[in-house]
Chain A
Amino acid sequence: MGVRTWIEGWPVYRQLTGTDPLGRGAAAQSERSKELTARTGTADRIAKSVCPYCAVGCGQRIFVKDEKIVQIEGDPDSPVSRGRLCPKGSASLSLVTSDRRQRRVLYRKPYGTEWESLDLETAMDMIADRVVAARDATWEEEDEKGRPLNRTLGISSLGGATLDNEENYLIKKLFTALGAIQIENQARI
Chain B
Amino acid sequence: MAEAHPVGFQWVVEAKNRGARIFHIDPRFSRTSALAHTHVPMRAGADIAFLGGVINYILTNEKDFREYVVAYTNASMIVSEDFRDTEELDGLFSGYDTETNTYVQASWAYEGMEQHDEPHADTAEPMRHESHGPPVPRDSPRDPTLQHPRCVYQILKRHYARYTPEVVERLCGVPQEKFLEVCAAWTENSGRERTTALVYSVGWTQHSVGVQYIRTGAIIQLLLGNMGRPGGGVLALRGHASIQGSTDIPTLFNLLPGYLPMPHHEKHETFEQWIDAIRHPGQKGYWSKAESYAVSLLKAYFGTAATEDNDWGFDWLPRLTGDHGTYRQALDMIDGKIRGYFLLGQNPAVGSANGRAQRLGMANLEWLVVRDLYMIESATFWKGGPEGPTGEIVPERCRTEVFFMPAASHAEKEGTFTQTQRMLQWREKAVDPPGDARSELWFFYHLGKRVRERLAGSTLPRDQAIRNLTWDYDLIGARGDEPDAADVLKEINGYDLTTGRLLSTFNEMKPDGSTSGGCWIYTGVFKDGVNQAARRKPGREQNWVAPEWGWAWPANRRTLYNRASADPDGNPWSERKRYVWWDNAAGEWTGHDVPDFEKTKPPSYRPPEDATGVAAIAGDDAFIMQGDGKGWLYAPSGLIDGPMPTHYEPAESMVRNPLYGQQSNPTRKVYDRDDNLTNPSPPEKHSEVFPYVFSTSRLTEHHTAGGMSRQLAYLSELQPEMFVEVSPELAAERGLTHLGWAHIVTARAAIEAKVLVTSRLTPLRIEGRTIHQLWLPYHWGSEGLVTGDSANDLIGITLDPNVLIQESKVGTCDIQPGRRPIGKALLAYVEGYRRRAGLFPGHHTPIVTTEDADG
**Chain B residues whose CB sits within 8 angstroms of the CB of A96 once the complex forms:** 409-412
**Chain A residues whose CB sits within 8 angstroms of the CB of B248 once the complex forms:** 165
| With known contacts A57-B420, A95-B409, A156-B333, A189–B351 Cβ distance under 8 A | yes
Contact B444 A174 (CB under 8 A): yes
Q: What distance in Å separates the Cβ of A67 from its nearest Cβ neighbour in chain B?
A: 6
Q: Does B184 sit at the interface, judged by CB under 8 A?
A: no
| With known contacts A69-B431, A159-B343, A105–B405 Cβ distance under 8 A | yes
Residues 167-189 of chain A: 1 if any B CB is under 8 Å from the residue's CB, otherwise 0? 11111111011111111111111
Contact B245 A79 (CB under 8 A): no
In the complex, what residue of chain A is closest to B264 when comparing beta carbons? A147
**Chain B residues whose CB sits within 8 angstroms of the CB of A107 once the complex forms:** 401-404
Q: Restricting to B231-251, which residues have a CB under 8 Å from any CB of A?
A: 237-251
Q: Does B316 sit at the interface, judged by CB under 8 A?
A: yes
**Chain A residues whose CB sits within 8 angstroms of the CB of B417 once the complex forms:** 50, 52, 57, 164-165
Interface residues on B, range: 35 or more
Q: Does B586 sit at the interface, judged by CB under 8 A?
A: no
Q: What distance in Å separates the Cβ of A46 from its nearest Cβ neighbour in chain B?
A: 8
**Chain B residues whose CB sits within 8 angstroms of the CB of A11 once the complex forms:** none
Contact A128 B241 (CB under 8 A): no
Q: Restricting to A97-155, which residues have a CB under 8 Å from any CB of B?
A: 98, 100-113, 115, 118, 120, 123-132, 134, 137-139, 141, 143, 147-155
Q: Does A38 sit at the interface, judged by CB under 8 A?
A: no
Q: Does B803 sit at the interface, judged by CB under 8 A?
A: yes
Q: Which of B317, B366, B461 contacts A176 (CB 8 A)?
A: B317
Contact B240 A162 (CB under 8 A): yes
Q: Does A16 sit at the interface, judged by CB under 8 A?
A: no
Contact A165 B402 (CB under 8 A): no
In the complex, what residue of chain A is closest to B375 when comparing beta carbons? A102
In the complex, what residue of chain B is closest to A67 when comparing beta carbons? B431
A86 to B241, CA, bound (A): 14
Interface of A is mostly: mixed
Q: Does B538 sit at the interface, judged by CB under 8 A?
A: yes
Q: Does A77 sit at the interface, judged by CB under 8 A?
A: yes
**Chain A residues whose CB sits within 8 angstroms of the CB of B766 once the complex forms:** none
Contact B492 A169 (CB under 8 A): yes
| With known contacts A113-B396, A160-B344, A170-B441, A78–B326 Cβ distance under 8 A | no
**Chain A residues whose CB sits within 8 angstroms of the CB of B124 once the complex forms:** none
A164 to B403, CA, bound (A): 22
Q: Which of A102, A128, A154, A179 contacts B447 (CB 8 A)?
A: A128
Q: What distance in Å separates the Cβ of B347 from its nearest Cβ neighbour in chain A?
A: 9
**Chain B residues whose CB sits within 8 angstroms of the CB of A125 once the complex forms:** 450
Q: Does B398 sit at the interface, judged by CB under 8 A?
A: yes
Contact B488 A56 (CB under 8 A): no
Q: Does B713 sit at the interface, judged by CB under 8 A?
A: yes
Q: Restricting to B318-335, which residues have a CB under 8 Å from any CB of A?
A: 318-321, 324-326, 329, 332-333
Q: Does B125 sit at the interface, judged by CB under 8 A?
A: no
Q: Does B436 sit at the interface, judged by CB under 8 A?
A: yes
Contact B324 A69 (CB under 8 A): no
A85 to B804, CA, bound (A): 33
Q: Which of B253, B318, B396, B440 contacts A150 (CB 8 A)?
A: B318
Contact B250 A161 (CB under 8 A): no
Contact B338 A153 (CB under 8 A): yes
| With known contacts A51-B241, A150-B317, A181-B262, A91–B340 Cβ distance under 8 A | no
**Chain A residues whose CB sits within 8 angstroms of the CB of B341 once the complex forms:** 155-158
Q: Does B382 sit at the interface, judged by CB under 8 A?
A: yes
**Chain B residues whose CB sits within 8 angstroms of the CB of A98 once the complex forms:** 374, 711-712
Q: Does A47 sit at the interface, judged by CB under 8 A?
A: yes
Q: Which of B344, B397, B803 contacts A158 (CB 8 A)?
A: B344
Contact A127 B369 (CB under 8 A): yes
Residues 53-74 of chain B: 1 if any A CB is under 8 Å from the residue's CB, otherwise 0? 0000000000000000000000
**Chain B residues whose CB sits within 8 angstroms of the CB of A69 once the complex forms:** 411, 430-431
Q: Does A80 sit at the interface, judged by CB under 8 A?
A: yes
Residues 362-379 of chain B: 1 if any A CB is under 8 Å from the residue's CB, otherwise 0? 000011010111110001
Q: Which of A80, A166, A184 contacts B419 (CB 8 A)?
A: A80
In the complex, what residue of chain B is closest to A136 when comparing beta carbons? B462
Contact A84 B427 (CB under 8 A): no
| With known contacts A94-B712, A169-B519, A182-B329, A159–B395 Cβ distance under 8 A | no
**Chain B residues whose CB sits within 8 angstroms of the CB of A170 once the complex forms:** 440-441, 444-445, 448, 483, 488
Q: Does B383 sit at the interface, judged by CB under 8 A?
A: yes
Q: What distance in Å separates the Cβ of B132 from its nearest Cβ neighbour in chain A?
A: 16
Contact B243 A47 (CB under 8 A): no
Residues 24-54 of chain A: 1 if any B CB is under 8 Å from the residue's CB, otherwise 0? 0000000000000000000001011111111
| With known contacts A57-B420, A100-B711, A179–B318 Cβ distance under 8 A | yes
| With known contacts A47-B429, A166-B485, A79–B338 Cβ distance under 8 A | no
Q: Does B387 sit at the interface, judged by CB under 8 A?
A: no
| With known contacts A147-B266, A153-B332, A163-B242, A86–B700 Cβ distance under 8 A | yes
**Chain B residues whose CB sits within 8 angstroms of the CB of A178 once the complex forms:** 451, 465-466
**Chain A residues whose CB sits within 8 angstroms of the CB of B491 once the complex forms:** 169
**Chain B residues whose CB sits within 8 angstroms of the CB of A172 once the complex forms:** 249-251, 256-257
Q: Does B549 sit at the interface, judged by CB under 8 A?
A: yes
**Chain A residues whose CB sits within 8 angstroms of the CB of B441 once the complex forms:** 164, 166-167, 170
**Chain B residues whose CB sits within 8 angstroms of the CB of A12 once the complex forms:** none
Contact B243 A161 (CB under 8 A): yes
Q: Does B524 sit at the interface, judged by CB under 8 A?
A: no
Contact B803 A188 (CB under 8 A): yes
**Chain A residues whose CB sits within 8 angstroms of the CB of B348 once the complex forms:** 158
| With known contacts A102-B373, A170-B444, A185-B243, A87–B715 Cβ distance under 8 A | yes
Contact B462 A163 (CB under 8 A): no
Q: Does B617 sit at the interface, judged by CB under 8 A?
A: no
A96 to B294, CA, bound (A): 39
In the complex, what residue of chain A is closest to B348 when comparing beta carbons? A158
Which of A103, A104, A150 has the most chain B CB within a 10 Å cutoff? A150
Contact B374 A102 (CB under 8 A): yes
Q: Does B571 sit at the interface, judged by CB under 8 A?
A: no
In the complex, what residue of chain A is closest to B415 when comparing beta carbons? A164
Contact A166 B806 (CB under 8 A): no
Q: Which of A47, A64, A124, A169 contacts B257 (CB 8 A)?
A: A169
Residues 55-86 of chain A: 1 if any B CB is under 8 Å from the residue's CB, otherwise 0? 11111001010011100100011111110111
Contact A110 B400 (CB under 8 A): yes
A178 to B340, CA, bound (A): 14
Q: What distance in Å separates the Cβ of B37 from its nearest Cβ neighbour in chain A?
A: 23
Contact B411 A185 (CB under 8 A): no
| With known contacts A103-B406, A104-B436, A185-B251, A161–B246 Cβ distance under 8 A | yes
Q: Restricting to B535-549, which residues have a CB under 8 Å from any CB of A?
A: 536-540, 542, 546, 549
Q: What distance in Å separates the Cβ of B615 from its nearest Cβ neighbour in chain A?
A: 32
Q: Which of B249, B382, B550 contacts A169 (CB 8 A)?
A: B249
Contact A181 B489 (CB under 8 A): no
Q: Which of B333, B402, B409, B436 contacts A120 (CB 8 A)?
A: B436
Q: What distance in Å separates the Cβ of B248 from its nearest Cβ neighbour in chain A?
A: 7
Contact B469 A177 (CB under 8 A): yes
Q: Does B434 sit at the interface, judged by CB under 8 A?
A: yes
**Chain B residues whose CB sits within 8 angstroms of the CB of A50 once the complex forms:** 241, 410, 417, 419, 425, 427
Contact A52 B396 (CB under 8 A): no
Q: Does B181 sit at the interface, judged by CB under 8 A?
A: no
| With known contacts A164-B417, A172-B256, A101–B249 Cβ distance under 8 A | no
A169 to B301, CA, bound (A): 10
Contact B242 A55 (CB under 8 A): yes
A127 to B711, CA, bound (A): 27
In the complex, what residue of chain B is closest to A103 when comparing beta carbons? B435
* 3 nearest A-B pairs in the assembled complex, by CB-CB distance: A79-B539, A57-B419, A159-B344
Q: Give me 14 other A-B pairs in contact (C-beta within 8 A), A98-B711, A124-B443, A158-B329 excluded.
A: A45-B430, A48-B427, A49-B427, A49-B430, A77-B549, A106-B379, A107-B402, A108-B401, A134-B366, A158-B342, A158-B346, A167-B444, A174-B448, A185-B252
12 cross-chain CB contacts under 8 A: A50-B410, A54-B239, A91-B712, A106-B402, A107-B403, A150-B462, A154-B337, A160-B250, A163-B344, A167-B444, A171-B440, A188-B325
